[in-house]
Structures are given as structure tokens and as C-alpha cells.
Amino acid sequence: MSLLSLSARQAQTLLRVGFSRSFLASSVLLSTPSDFDPRKLTRSQWRSRLDPEVFRVVREKGTEPPFSSEFNNVKGPGEFSCVCCSQVLFSTDEKYDSGSGWPSFTGPVLESSLKTLKDNSHGMRRTEVLCKNCGAHLGHVFTDGPSKERPLRYCINGIALKFNPE
């Protein structure tokens, strides 16, 4: 759990004084009570809990700009969890530099933490990756991974993640 809990308004104030969206997404769990059940939240409730850009990406299936995530260069040991529900998703052990502009992984910590769906939007045939616990849009998985032994590339929006260093 995060060390800090903020309302969306408080988060906006921190953004205005210079904190980055990625920092807030990775470090702050916005207004999360202990009895939080992400599967029961309405669209309106998600909108009030999340920074507008985080909401656009994870709840409206958006994409952050390439090379905009502070997590592109994270190399130290740790895990990445869902910004919406804190479900552990990926590890730095599986992270690599794909050159795509988004944090890339060869696989999740547990396959059961993710859900995939066919995505034919924008005239492309892709496989969407979602957090199985809360349904947050994370990104896409492609078959152009770093090697034959590791053929998958999970191309994930950094804004959809929180980094938990070991």
C-alpha cells in the first residue's frame, strides 16, 4: 500500500507545483479505503479517484505518448503493480528495452493477473492487456519479443503502473 493517500484535487495541486503524473501514479494511491473493491466502482467513481490522464489511459483505453514514462529506464529490482488496484503485474526481472517508447516486459509475474482481449481498433489487429483484478487497460502484447525463447513483448503504458522497488 502507498505511503500517501490523496484526493484527485490534492493530486492536481501537486501536479501544478511540479510533481509529474508518472510520479503520482507510481507513488500515490488516490483515496483508497481498506475495504476498496475495484470491481464495484462505477465510471464516475473511477473518474473521481484517478488523475484525468490516468483515467483516460486505464479506463478509456488510451495510450500515453511514447518515451513519456519515467519507468522506461527503471533497472533496479522491484515489481510493477496496477495503478488502480495495486495487483502485482510485472517484475524488473522480465523488463527490457524494446526501443518502442513504452515499458516492455517478456511476461507477467503471474499469467493469472492479466486478461487479454482481441483489439481491432485504429485499423490494427492487436491483443489488449488488462488487469484481471480491476479491468484497467494496461497496453498490448505483441509477438516480437527479444528472442525465440522469449517471444512476447508486453508493451505497457507506464502511467498504468506503480513501481515498488525491492
d(CA 147, CA 166): 27
**134 labelled catalytic:** no
Residue 147: beta bridge partners?
none
Distances (CA, A) of 146 to 96, 114, 130: 8, 20, 22
DSSP 62: -
The greatest distance separating any two alpha carbons of the chain, rounded to the nearest whole angstrom, comes to 47
The active-site residue, picked from 82, 84, 131, 155, is 155
Q: CB of 60 within 8 A of CB of 141?
A: no
> Active-site positions?
155
